[in-house]
Amino acid sequence: DAGDHESFMHKEILEQPAAAERVLRGRLDQRFATGHLGGLNLDARELREIKRIKVLGCGSAYYVGQMGATLIEELARIPADAEAASEFRYRNPIIEPDTLYVAVSQSGETLDTLLAVQEIRRKGGRTIGLVNVVGSAIAREVDGGIYLHAGPEVAVASTKALTNMYLGFAMLALQLGRVRDMSIADGRRLIGALEALPRKIEEIIATDDHLAGVAERLAEAESLFFVGRVRGFPVAREGAQKFKEISYRHAEAYQTSELKHGPLALISPAVPTIAIVPDDELVERNVAALHEIAARKGPLVVVTHDSVPLRGIKAERIVVPRSEVELDPILLTVPLQILAYHAARHLGHDIDKPRNLAKSVTVE
Ligand code: AGP
C-alpha cells in the first residue's frame, strides 16, 4: 500500500533512513570495532583466508556491487571487483577456492544472478548473498549472507534496497578489514560514520524542492552525461541507470577521466552533464574536467560537498553532507534517485512501472 504517496518509488525513497537503521541494527560491534555478521557462516580464520572478492549482480545491483568492491579493496585491502552476473558464466570464469563470491540482489530471484551462483557452486566456489527477500531463490542457494531488511520494494526503480546493499558491503568490508590490518581506531571511525548515515540521508531527502527544480530542467534534455571517477564512477552509472529507467531520456555514464578520449565531442548546450565531485583526493582533477565541459558550454549539475571550490564555473550545485570519504558514494547516490523521480514525474510517466521493464527479471 503506497498510502498517501503518489508512487511507491516516492514512498521507498523516503523510507531510506529507517531502512538503513534496520540493516545496521545489531550488526556493529562497538567493543571490537568490527562488523557482526553472523549469517556469513565464516569464522575469523576463514575470513582471513579469503584472497579475492568477486561481486556479481545485475543492473543497479551490479553498480552497487562495484561501489562495494571498491569499498572492500580500500578498507580490507583485498583485491575485489564486480561483474555483471548476466555475463559471468558465459566466459567460463576461473573459480578459485580462496575467492569469496558475493551475489547481490534485491529480489533474490534474478535468474542471471541465480545461474551465476549455481555455476560457482558447481565448481566448488564459496558464495554469500546480499539479498533483500528472505527465503528467495538466491538466499536459499548461497552458503551464507546478509539480509538487507529494506522491507518490501515495489517500484521497478530500486532505491532503499540499493542503499542497504551498500551498507551491507560496508559492514562486510569492516569485518574483513578487522581480521586483517585495520586498526581499532579506523574501525571505530567507520562505525561512527555508518551510524550517522541515516540522519544524513534524511538531510538529503529534505532538499527535495531544490532537487525537483533541477530535475525539471534536466528532463527537457534528450541526452545527458553522468560522470564520476573511482568511487564516483559507479555512482554515475547508477545515476544514469535510474534516470533512463523512468524518464526514458538517454543517459550515459562515463569516467570523468575518459571524457577527453571521445565523449567530449558530444558536449554542447543541449547535453547536460551531472558530475559527481566529492571532496576527496581527486577533487582538483574533477574540477579541471568541469572547466573542460563548461568551456564547451555544456550545462553542469555538480553533486558535491560544500567545501569543493568550483572556481567560477557556472554550475548548479547539489550539496550532500560529508561522511568518511570511503562512505561518500551512498550519500552522493541519494540525490540522483530524487532527480530521476522528479524528472519522470514532470514528464508524466508511470513512475512505478516504467515501460518494458519488470521488477524482477526471472528470464535469461
Ligand atoms: C534497478 O532500478 C533496476 N530495476 C534493475 O537494474 C535491478 O536492480 C536489477 O534487475 C537487479 O534486480 P535484483 O536486485 O532484484 O536482482
Residues 353-362 have pLDDT tens digits of 999 999 989 9
| Mutation to probe ligand 1, out of 13, 55, 58, 160 (largest number of atoms < 8 A from CB) | 58
What number is the average pLDDT over the span 262-289? 96
Q: Which residues contact 87 (CB under 8 A, 6 or more apart)?
A: none
State how far Cα 299 lies from the chain centre.
Answer: 25
Provide mean pLDDT across the span 329-351: 97
pLDDT surpassing 90 at residue 154 = yes
C-alpha 82 to ligand 1 mean position (Å): 15
Nearest to 54 by CA among 35, 38, 34, 68: 68
- Could you give the CA distance from residue 43 to residue 75 in angstroms, rounded to a whole number? 19
Q: Is the CB of 59 under 6 A from ligand 1?
A: yes
- Is the model's pLDDT at 337 over the cut of 90? yes
Q: What is the pLDDT of residue 364?
A: 87
pLDDT digits (tens, 9 = 90+) for 108-151: 999 999 999 999 999 999 999 999 999 999 999 999 999 999 99
Q: Give the position, in ligand 1's atom list, of the atom nearest the Cα of 157.
A: 2
**In the 8-state DSSP scheme, what is residue 254?**
E
Does pLDDT of 341 surpass 90?
Answer: yes
User: Which residue's CA is minimally distant from atom 5 of ligand 1?
Assistant: 59
Name the pLDDT band for 168 (thresholds 50, 70, 90). very high
Average pLDDT over residues 241-255: 97
Q: Whose CA is nearest to atom 8 of ligand 1?
A: 60
Report which ligand 1 atom has the smallest distance to the Cα of 113.
Answer: 16
Residue in 203, 200, 258, 272 with CA at minimum distance from that of residue 229: 258
Assess whether the C-beta atom of 110 lies below 6 angstroms from ligand 1.
yes
343 Rama class: left (phi>0) / alpha (psi -120 to 50) / beta: alpha
- Per cent of the chain over pLDDT 70 is 100
Q: Is the CB of 113 under 6 A from ligand 1?
A: yes
**Measured between alpha carbons, how far is 71 from 44 in angstroms, rounded to an integer?**
20
Minimal-distance CA residue to ligand 1 atom 2: 157
Place of cell 503506497: 2
Residues pairing with 227 in the sheet: 254, 275
Measured from the CB, is residue 158 less than 6 Å from ligand 1?
yes
Output the pLDDT for position 22: 98
pLDDT bucket at 1, cuts 50 / 70 / 90: confident
Task: Taking residues 146-172, report their average pLDDT.
Answer: 97
Residue 281 has a pLDDT of 96
Instruction: Determine the pLDDT at residue 311.
Output: 85
Determine the Cα–Cα distance for residues 222 and 182; give it in Å rounded to an integer: 46
- Any alpha helices (H) in 250-327, and if so which ranges? 283-295
Q: What are phi and psi of 174, to 5 degrees?
A: -65, -45
Q: What is the mean pLDDT of residues 261-278?
A: 96
Say yes or no to pLDDT of 319 above 90: yes
Using the predicted structure, report yes or no on whether residue 60 has a pLDDT greater than 90. yes
Is the separation of the CB atoms in 230 and 202 below 8 Å?
no
Mean pLDDT of 324-337: 98
Q: Which residues contact 19 (CB under 8 A, 6 or more apart)?
A: 149, 150, 151, 160, 163, 164
Q: Which atom of ligand 1 is nearest to the CA of 158?
A: 2
pLDDT digits (tens, 9 = 90+) for 170-212: 999 999 999 999 999 999 999 999 999 999 999 999 999 999 9
Cβ proximity of 308 and 319 under 8 Å: no
